[in-house]
Amino acid sequence: MTGQTLSTTDWRERSANQTRLAFGQALLEIGEREPRSVVLSVDTQDLIGIRTWIDKFPERFTELGIAEQNAIGVASGLATTGLRPYVCAYAPFITARSMEQVRNDIAYANQRVVIGAAASGISLGVAGGTHHALEDLALMRSLPNMTVIVPADVDEAFRATLATLDIDGPVYMRLGGRVEEPPVNDDRDAAFELGRAVQLRPGKDVTVIACGALVEMALRASDALKKENINARVLNMHTIKPLDRDAVLAAAAETGGIVTAEEHRFAGGLGGAIAELLAVENPTRMRMVAMPDEFAVIGPTGPLRTKYGMSAEAIVTACKSLLQ
């Protein structure tokens, strides 16, 4: 590695409890470690906080504007030359708008391209349904060769981004928007292990498996349930693909049921992945906390999550229903 690594304080402070910014901070370290790394932006210089990269590595940066299909094609082309492209994009557009290019140019060709997809879920609530990414996990995890990661906080986002250096294939990194994502793990320096869920709360009565913004809500739900003598295990499933089969099957065998929680539609996301596994390996009682089958109205992110049942209270209700 050349150059000086960012200090822990520096990158955490600059990330401001937002995974999108932690991704941008991790890119700076990747730039030092891997001289073949390049960054492509689709009008995301401020969204992902990559202006420092532009200043430091100007010859390894390209702004492509609001042209997601083109960005994926360019990234694929650069990857064929041995470069390591990191595409900085908006989640709703890099998935839906450029799905054909992601499938054919990146996944089918098994290119080493990392897509940092910010503003996922309804983190851009005030922008309306066109700017909500609530089907991106279903799209990305359906693609062969694709690794799908959903960090829950800045520490996980930073380390997961660094881990992409060792992934030989395409990666979809689902990041938040301009809303704070509080730390979820007491050990803020814990290593990131691809495909290995993190148990944040022990419990034998029921298991809550969550990802992204819903992990913090799962912790709050577990704490609320404990006051009613219900011990809810909480798993942070930061990697949707490859899924931690062992953790899921252990939860199914050791607890009274599984509740999944995610800021994504019911169809095709984390809940769908776990249900598919359990249906074959060990049929288990389940409930899913997710976005209903409708387009969300326009509004602030927090109230929208509550309106559509993506909340700690909804997780508590789902857990109780399994234990009746």
Task: State residue 89 phi and psi, 5-degree precision.
Answer: -150, 170
Q: How far is CA 60 from CA 32, 44, 53, 70, 142, in A?
A: 12, 16, 9, 17, 31
Question: Are the C-beta atoms of 72 and 106 separated by less than 8 Å?
Answer: yes
Domain with CATH 3.40.50.920 in the chain: 198-322
Q: Does residue 28 surpass a pLDDT of 90?
A: yes
Cα distance between residue 222 and residue 209, in whole Å: 11
Instruction: Write down the pLDDT at residue 285.
Output: 96
Average pLDDT score over residue span 103-115: 98
Report the pLDDT averaged over residues 95-105: 97
Q: What is the pLDDT of residues 130-171, one digit of tens each?
A: 999 999 999 999 999 999 999 999 999 999 999 999 999 999
- For the domain with range 8-174, which CATH number is right: 1.10.760.10, 3.40.50.300, 3.40.50.2020, 3.40.50.970? 3.40.50.970
| Residue pair 19/43 in contact by the 8 Å Cβ criterion | no
Question: Residues of CATH 3.40.50.970 domain(s) within the chain?
Answer: 8-174
6 — pLDDT class (breaks 50, 70, 90) = low
Strands 232-236 and 206-210, sheet pairing: parallel
Contacts of 60 (CB under 8 A, 6+ apart): 31, 37, 38, 39, 53
The tokens describing 239, both together, are 């990697």
The pLDDT-based confidence of 227 (bands split at 50, 70, 90) is: very high
Residue 206 is encoded by which pair of tokens?
Answer: 């029921």
306, pLDDT greater than 60: yes
Mean pLDDT of all residues in 278-297: 96
Instruction: Answer yes or no: is pLDDT of 120 > 80.
Output: yes
Determine the Cα–Cα distance for residues 193 and 237; give it in Å rounded to an integer.
11
Q: What is the pLDDT of residue 1?
A: 34
pLDDT of residue 186: 87
**DSSP annotation of 308:** T
Q: Does 324 have pLDDT greater than 90?
A: no
Question: Which stretch of DSSP H or E encloses residue 77?
Answer: helix 68-80
pLDDT digits (tens, 9 = 90+) for 191-205: 999 999 999 999 999
CA distance 2 to 21: 23
pLDDT value, residue 195: 97
- As a whole number of Å, the CA-based R_g of the chain is 19
pLDDT of residue 305: 95
User: What tokens appear for 9 in the block?
Assistant: 């304080």
Q: Residue 5 has what pLDDT?
A: 52
Residue range 198-322 in CATH 3.40.50.920: yes
The predicted model gives 102-124 an average pLDDT of: 97
Sign of CA dihedral 236, 306, 203, 323: negative
What's the pLDDT score for residue 7?
A: 56
H and E: helices and strands count for the chain: 13, 12
CA distances from 206 to 6, 53, 129, 185 (A): 40, 44, 33, 20
> What is residue 4's predicted lDDT score, i.e. its pLDDT?
45
Integer CA distances (angstroms), 215 to 23, 113, 184, 212, in order:
18, 27, 7, 6
Contacts of 26 (CB under 8 A, 6+ apart): 11, 157, 158, 159, 161, 162
* Per-residue confidence band for 9, with pLDDT thresholds at 50, 70 and 90: low
